[in-house]
């Protein structure tokens, strides 16, 4: 099936819904829902070609850990109170796809080992081991390389990646605890330097006491690594990385019995050198952003931070087996800096079916499509959509299905468009949300 046909079928599904008679009963007038949406809208994101690519976003008053997990499974990611999803179709210039790592399938590649070895040598002896370079760092460090290449793999890199990924696929995953845990434990022992990693809950006394230090590091990282001066202000920092619509749950008897948003602090000899903003959800541990001291890049701080997050996810999964995945968010084609994410992930999300496919198969499809939008499973049935007429709306203090109250809503058409978009972007889980409507 061609993409055009696919889109046609997609829209037919929605049109059929429109013909349905409205038979919905009013809902219980209580807020039993765990996720409350305040705004639904579209925002544009500029790609490397300076073209605008649309994202549907929702701004939420609150969202449950389970619902956010479901949205990650549909290719969404969170920033502050906004949860967003790239809208992908034939017109998309640079596509963005969800990525995840199944913890039991993760393998510590040679190149990741090199990066960890470098960190270990620095901590133990104060001299980084720079004898070998690793792929992950290479892609992070040379954003200017071959912009035309898809996912910025050169043909040779692509072949190498596919060869390794295909070979790795047939193997069993590493015991993360044994392989990665041992490496990290060695580093944690220290030597010439002392390294500490701590989990800091948002708005905790420790969070507030280290806020300025964290913000200063964030600005330093932005200026040096991304040359982004406009991110260096407290308002942006606060609304993007210091607030969360998730409830923070802590278990006093068990350090790992936590859910919610946290900052993972990395200190070397007491100095804050890295911060990871993470969400610990039912099914996922997601890294939303890592920022670190640019001077420590040469010793592989970025990879060390990601590996520590991966190890944390694994530790939590031993206490709570439903947490099965690590997610580094979405990857954008033609953003060389993000290539390292491919080496850390085992699966990529097919937007057409919303099914996860092995990373090597997905990368091959993207490569064939030359950076344009690609369905990884074009011959499979499309994702299931929710019926947007039955999405719950909070209107005049009561909760009803949209289909029942739409005639009373002033900007009915606009809301209908937004709910249709939400249904397409979120799939069936949209029917579990509640959307606040201005009367
Ligand atoms: Zn583009």
C-alpha 91 to ligand 1 mean position (Å): 10
C-alpha 194 to ligand 1 mean position (Å): 43
C-alpha 48 to ligand 1 mean position (Å): 5
C-alpha 50 to ligand 1 mean position (Å): 7
C-alpha 53 to ligand 1 mean position (Å): 8
Q: What is the pLDDT along the chain (439 residues), one digit of tens a residue?
A: 333 333 333 333 333 343 444 444 545 544 445 899 999 999 999 988 899 999 999 999 999 999 999 999 999 999 999 999 999 998 998 899 999 999 998 888 777 888 888 899 999 998 866 666 555 555 444 333 323 334 445 556 666 666 666 665 556 666 777 778 888 888 989 999 999 999 999 999 999 999 999 999 999 999 988 778 889 999 999 999 999 999 999 888 888 889 999 999 999 999 999 999 999 999 999 999 999 999 998 888 988 999 999 999 999 999 999 999 999 999 988 877 777 788 889 999 999 999 999 998 998 888 888 778 989 999 999 998 888 999 999 999 899 999 999 999 989 999 999 999 999 999 999 999 999 998 7
* Residues 6+ positions from 221 with CB-CB distance below 8 Å: 291, 292, 293, 294
Segments making up each domain of the chain, as ranges:
3-93+384-436, 99-357
DSSP string, 344-412: H-SEEEETTTTEEEEHHHHHHHHHHTTTS---SSTTSPPPPPP-GGGSEEEETTEEEEHHHHGGG-TTH
What dihedral do alpha carbons 183, 218, 265, 281 form, nearest 10°? -90
Please give all residues whose CB falls under 5 A of ion ligand 1, grouped by chain where several chains appear.
47, 49, 51, 93-94
C-alpha 181 to ligand 1 mean position (Å): 39
C-alpha 220 to ligand 1 mean position (Å): 28
C-alpha 172 to ligand 1 mean position (Å): 36
A 10 A CB-CB count for 274 gives 22
C-alpha 371 to ligand 1 mean position (Å): 8
What is the pTM assigned to this prediction?
Answer: 0.86
**Does residue 260 contact residue 246 with C-beta atoms inside 8 Å?**
yes
C-alpha 47 to ligand 1 mean position (Å): 5
C-alpha 333 to ligand 1 mean position (Å): 8
Is 208 exposed, middle or buried (CB count within 10 Å of its CB: 0-12, 13-18, 19+)? exposed
C-alpha 79 to ligand 1 mean position (Å): 22
C-alpha 332 to ligand 1 mean position (Å): 9
CA distance 145 to 40: 37
C-alpha 59 to ligand 1 mean position (Å): 26
C-alpha 342 to ligand 1 mean position (Å): 19
């Amino acid at each position: 099936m061609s993409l055009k046909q696919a889109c046609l079928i997609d829209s037919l599904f929605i049109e059929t819904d429109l013909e349905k008679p409205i038979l919905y009963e009013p809902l219980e007038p209580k807020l039993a829902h765990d996720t409350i949406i305040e705004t639904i809208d579209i925002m544009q994101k500029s790609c490397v070609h300076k073209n605008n690519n649309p994202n549907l976003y929702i701004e939420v008053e609150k969202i449950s850990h389970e619902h956010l997990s479901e949205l990650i499974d549909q290719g969404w990611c969170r920033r502050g109170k906004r949860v967003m999803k790239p809208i992908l179709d034939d017109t998309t210039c640079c596509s963005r796809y969800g990525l995840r790592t199944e913890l039991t399938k993760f393998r510590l590649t040679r190149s990741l080992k090199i990066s960890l070895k470098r960190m270990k040598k620095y901590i133990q002896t104060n001299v980084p081991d720079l004898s070998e370079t690793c792929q992950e760092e290479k892609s992070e460090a040379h954003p200017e390389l071959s912009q035309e290449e898809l996912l910025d793999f050169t043909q040779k890199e692509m072949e190498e990646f596919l060869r390794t990924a295909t070979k790795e696929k047939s193997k069993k995953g590493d015991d993360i605890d044994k392989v990665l845990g041992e490496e990290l434990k060695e580093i944690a022992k220290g030597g010439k330097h002392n390294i500490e990693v701590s989990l800091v809950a948002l708005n905790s006394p420790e969070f507030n006491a280290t806020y300025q230090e964290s913000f200063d590091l964030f600005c330093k990282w932005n200026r040096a690594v991304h040359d982004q001066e406009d991110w260096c202000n407290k308002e942006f920092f606060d609304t993007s990385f210091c607030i969360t619509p998730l409830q923070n749950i802590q278990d006093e008897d068990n350090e790992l019995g936590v859910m919610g948003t946290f900052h993972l602090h990395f200190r070397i000899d007491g100095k804050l050198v890295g911060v990871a903003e993470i969400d610990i959800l039912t099914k996922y541990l997601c890294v939303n952003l890592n920022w670190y001291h640019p001077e420590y890049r040469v010793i592989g701080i970025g990879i060390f931070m990601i590996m520590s997050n991966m190890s944390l996810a694994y530790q939590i999964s031993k206490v709570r087996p439903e947490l099965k995945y690590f997610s580094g968010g979405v990857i954008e084609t033609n953003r060389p800096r993000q290539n390292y994410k491919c080496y850390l992930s085992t699966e990529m999300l097919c937007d057409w079916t919303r099914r996860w496919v092995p990373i090597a198969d997905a990368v091959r499809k993207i490569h064939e499509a030359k950076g344009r939008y690609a369905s990884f499973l074009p011959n499979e049935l499309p994702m299931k959509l929710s019926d947007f007429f039955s999405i719950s709306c909070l209107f005049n203090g009561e909760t009803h299905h949209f289909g029942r109250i739409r005639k009373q809503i002033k900007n009915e058409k606009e809301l209908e468009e937004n709910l249709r978009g939400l249904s397409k972007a979120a799939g069936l889980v949209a029917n579990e949300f509640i959307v606040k409507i201005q009367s």
